[in-house]
Structure 1
Amino acid sequence: MTDTLTDTFWKNMSKIHVILLGTDNGNPVPMAPLARQDDNAIWFITSADHDTFKAAKTGQEAKIYLGDSAGNMYGTIKGHLSASDDSDKLDDLWTPMAGAWFENGREDDSVRLMKYTPTEAEIWASDGMAKHLFETIRANITDDTPDSGEYGIIHF
């Protein structure tokens, strides 16, 4: 089950546009994740003066909070946040969406890259709202329990 759930995790993470990222230094903040299974990492493009980047420079533990219907995944991810100097990786990950946040686009001096390495995730991966509603109706008619998707804990 874990291998299948791990694959589902990475597939669904690639569809998620916004998560909440929390560190010891403050409240969770919305961030745009760039999930890459090959790196076993979730990347973030941010500004040098952002609190999460300051936390990343010290290698803090961080938690991601998921609640996204586009990726059909909900839950929490524990892991470590670190600052990255990998200019090639930043070029690879750069998007017009990231460029909108910086006055000089990719060439802005404040552009920074963070790497989030997950260690554990507790997730519920669903098949979407339509299936959830169908399963809820079916369960009420049959007195059965609805199939609400895959649930589990993943250790990376």
Structure 2
Amino acid sequence: MNETDIATFWDRLTNIGAGLLGTDNGAARMVPMSHQLLEGDPTIWFITARDTDLAEAVEHGVQPASFVVAEGGKGLYAIIRGALAQNKDPALRDALWSTVADSWFKRGKSDPDVGILGLVPDSAEVWLTPTSGLSFAFNVVRAKVTGEQPDIGSHGTLTQADLVRRRAAA
């Protein structure tokens, strides 16, 4: 994937609200999670309760994990693998806090059950597809007429260097 594709990946990921997050070793099953990105930071952040399988799985150290995103309307399908860890920094919690997070915790961001998890990506298998059904339909019809394969977007594997370098430049 080229630099434009990598930038598109981060842009689309920013505009998708949730995906499935779980540990690769089975310590925590995949569950729907909303995520946030901070400018220039390749870490994908999650706010969760400390008593969830995910939070408990990383309570004593970093775990290999995967975050799966499938959003046809945004034209992004991805499996993002990396290291999942807890972060107890109150300044980070404040930076990530939102109205949505506030609705889950009775005492707001000061609730002792608030947990922050960060996934530092080391690779991503990414499919970028047209973001409109009309564009996809046009490509299929054009392929039928020309006899060529339809252009359904781009696909590739991003390395940790790709992910960190491009996200830091954003």
TM-score (norm 1): 0.92
Distance 1:138 1:84 in 2: 50
CA shift in 2, pair 1:37/1:150, >3 Å: farther
Q: Residues 1-156 of structure 1: matches in 2 within 5 Å?
A: 1-23=1-23, 24-36=26-38, 38-57=40-59, 58-128=61-131, 129-156=133-160
Between the two proteins, what is the percent identity of the paired residues? 32
Shift of 1:37: 5.3
Partner deviation per Cα, 1:105-150 (whole Å, 9 max, x = no partner): 2121101111110000001011213322221121112211111112
Distance 1:26 1:94 in 2: 24
Superposition RMSD on alpha carbons, in Å?
1.4
TM-score (norm 2): 0.85
Contact 1:5/1:152 (CA < 8 Å) preserved in 2? no
Shift >3 Å, 4+ stretches: none
Distance 2:8 2:69 in 1: 14
- Count of aligned pairs between the two proteins: 156
2:104 alignment partner, SS class: coil
Distance 2:125 2:142 in 1: 27
Shift of 1:68: 1.3
Distance 2:113 2:97 in 1: 14
Distance 1:26 1:52 in 2: 5
Distance 2:48 2:94 in 1: 14
Q: Which runs of 5+ in 2 are unaligned?
A: 161-170
Aligned AA (2:66)? K
Choose 19-28 or 41-50, whichever is displaced more: 19-28
Distance 2:5 2:54 in 1: 28
Distance 1:27 1:82 in 2: 16
Distance 1:111 1:56 in 2: 14
CA shift in 2, pair 1:26/1:97, >3 Å: same
1:100 alignment partner, SS class: helix
